Amino acid sequence: MEHKKIIIAIDGYSSTGKSTMAKKLARQVGYRYIDSGAMYRAVALYALRHGMADTVGSVDEARLTAALPGIAIDFKVTPDGQRTMLNGEDVENEIRSMTVSQAVSPVAAVAAVRHAMTDLQQQMGREKGIVMDGRDIGTTVFPDAEMKVFVTASAETRARRRFDELKAKNMNAGYDEVLANLRERDHIDETRAESPLRKAADAFMLDNSDMTLDEQDALLLRIFNERTR
Ligand code: DC
C-alpha cells in the first residue's frame, strides 16, 4: 500500500541530536530533510560579515531587515551531504563555528528574519514528504504537520555532545564555554516574543538523555508508521 506523504516537524533544544535524528529518519522514509537552524545561522553569518551583528548579542535590526531581500538561502545536495548556501556560496562549515553560534539567537529573534525564513520553509514543504527540524516548526511553520516531535535532554548532556562534536571538527572551545553558550541560547530562544521555543500541544515529547540511538530510531519509525497509515 502506498503510504500518504506527510510533514514531520522535529523541534527542541539545541544539541539534543535533533538534526542527526531528523536526517536519519528522512533517509529511512525517503523524505527530504531541511535544517531550519542552518537558515538562521546563514543569516547570522551574513549579519556578522556586514557588521550588523556581533558575538555579544547586539543586532542592527533595521539594517538587517532592510538587507533581507538580498539574502538568498538554499540547500545544495552534494556527495558530502547537504550544504547550506548563502547567496550561492557554500557556508556549511562556517555556520557551525562558535562565532556564528554566539551571534545566531539574537538574529533569529528579529521578527522580519523569522517571517522571511518561515515563508521560505513553508514553500519548501508545499509538496510534503519532508522532515524539518528547528524550534518553531510544529508551532508556527507547520502547525498542521501530521507528525510532531519535541526533543529534549539535560543541559549537561547536550553541552557534552556539542563539545565532542566541535572537538571532532578541530574547532576550539572549552566545555564551560559551550555549556554557557547553550544555556544563553536556550534562554533567548524560550523567551523571545516572536514564536518562542515551546512544545506544540500535539507534539510527542522525547527526552533522549538516557536513550540509545537504536531505541530512538525505533520509536520514531513507530510514530511515523502510525501517522502515515
Ligand atoms: O539548531 P541550531 O543550533 O542550528 O539553531 C541555531 C539557532 O537558530 C538557535 O539559536 C535557534 C534558532 N532557530 C530558530 O529560532 N528557529 C528555528 N526554526 C531553528 C533555529
- Residue whose Cα lies nearest atom 6 of ligand 1: it is 37
| All three cell numbers of 161 | 555532545
Phi, psi for residue 30 in degrees, rounded to 5: 75, 30
Q: Provide the Cα torsion 97, 38, 111, 104; round to 10°.
A: -10
Atom of ligand 1 nearest to the CA of 137: 18
Atom of ligand 1 nearest to the CA of 108: 15
Ligand 1: distance of its center to the CA of 101 in Å?
9
% residues pLDDT > 90 (the chain):
77
Mean pLDDT for the chain?
Answer: 93
Atom of ligand 1 nearest to the CA of 136: 18
pLDDT at 1 over 60: no
Question: In sequence order, which ranges of 55-174 are alpha helices (DSSP H)?
Answer: 61-67, 98-108, 111-124, 155-168
pLDDT in tens, 23-78: 999 999 999 999 999 999 999 999 999 999 999 989 999 999 999 999 999 999 88
Grid cell 553569518 in the structure block, residue: 45
Q: Give, for ligand 1, the residue of 102, 104, 114, 185 to mutate: max count of ligand atoms closer than 8 Å to Cβ.
A: 104
DSSP string for residues in 114-136: HHHHHHHHHHHTTT--EEEEESS
Among residues 140, 155, 143, the alpha carbon closest in space to that of 196 is found at: 140
As for ligand 1, residues whose beta carbon falls within 6 Å of it are 14, 36-37, 40-41, 104-105, 108, 134-137, 185, 189
Ligand 1: distance of its center to the CA of 225 in Å?
28
- Residue whose Cα lies nearest atom 14 of ligand 1: it is 135
Question: For residue 69, how many other CB atoms are within 10 A of its CB?
Answer: 8
- Residue whose Cα lies nearest atom 13 of ligand 1: it is 37
pLDDT in tens, 168-218: 888 778 999 999 989 998 998 899 888 889 999 999 999 998 899 999 999
Q: Which helix (H) or strand (E) holds 20?
A: helix 18-29
Say what the pTM is.
Answer: 0.91
